[in-house]
Amino acid sequence: MRTQCKLYDHGVLIVPSCISVDLLSLLQTSATDLQTKADRMVQMSICSSLSRKFPKLTIIGEEDLPPGEVDQELIEDGQSEEILKQPCPSQYSAIKEEDLVVWVDPVDGTKEYTEGLLDNVTVLIGIAYEGKAIAGIINQPYYNYQAGPDAVLGRTIWGVLGLGAFGFQLKEAPAGKHIITTTRSHSNKLVTDCIAAMNPDNVLRVGGAGNKIIQLIEGKASAYVFASPGCKKWDTCAPEVILHAVGGKLTDIHGNPLQYDKEVKHMNSAGVLAALRNYEYYASRVPESVKSALIP
């Protein structure tokens, strides 16, 4: 099973150094679908690096890239010996490479990235087996970017079900407070109605699904509510693992677990509901009108 451990550890090592503010020239495909050179380069780096090392993997990325040669400078062939010392959970000992599906979001929070809100930006690599998310990496390339020129820039949060989650300090939101984190740029009446039903003390509107889950595990928010079909599997696979590894829960608005097999539709058509603690409270507050409008 050492090979499979190398898979997710190798993923941790794919730190997208090609993300740079210099790459902010946009390729705009529609008013609501912004794409940058960084999206394409990071996905090429991650997917090409993984496929060379693990050719039997199914890898699904957000960007629809044409086939072709990838610049050798984008290939990451290193691995972390320190992380490889971690024991691989026994339930994964018989997994074959070809049975895994990797979901990649090269730049989660692209709109915020283009607007200079760099703390919202994450790179997501999620690994699924038999439709269930089992391992995930959230890389924050600009973590600490406002802390001064001497600050260490960037961090990687990673986790495996049955092993734990690493790279951050777990903290819970203030007891008794209902602090909701939700979309910054894709709100609608269903979203606002659902949030209002939670009786929130505060609502945080930020970009990126990865960023929202980080808010949950670092105590800045108590629930992530997105009652809309705008989120995709590559947005939620990796963050779900991190949250589940520390005792949280992520589902669709109906309370159904999300599926990540290679044949599944990419859209999370019934939205997202997540919490580190007290998930049942938030699930119980979802209005029936919202549930009936969002079909799994």
DSSP-derived secondary structure for 1-28: -HHHHHHHHHHHH---TT--GGG--EEE
According to the annotation, is 71 in a ligand binding site? no
- Rounded CA separation 151/76 (Å): 25
Catalytic residue among 9, 36, 39, 252: 39
> Are the C-beta atoms of residues 6 and 54 closer than 8 Å to each other?
no
According to the annotation, is 62 in a ligand binding site? yes
Catalytic residue among 9, 36, 110, 181: 110
According to the annotation, is 105 in a ligand binding site? yes
Q: Is 36 a catalytic residue?
A: no
- Rounded CA separation 9/3 (Å): 10
- Rounded CA separation 273/174 (Å): 19
| Number of CB atoms found within 10 A of residue 53's CB | 17
In angstroms and rounded to an integer, the radius of gyration of the C-alpha atoms of the chain is 18
Of 48, 43, 49, residue with least CA distance to 77: 49
**Which of the 8 DSSP states describes residue 54?**
-
Q: Is 110 a catalytic residue?
A: yes
User: In the beta sheet, which residues pair with residue 133?
Assistant: 128
- Rounded CA separation 193/198 (Å): 9
According to the annotation, is 235 in a ligand binding site? yes
Which residue ranges make up the annotated binding site for Mg(2+)? 62, 105, 108, 235
Give the catalytic positions in this structure. Answer: 39, 110
Which residue ranges make up the annotated binding site? 62, 105, 108, 235
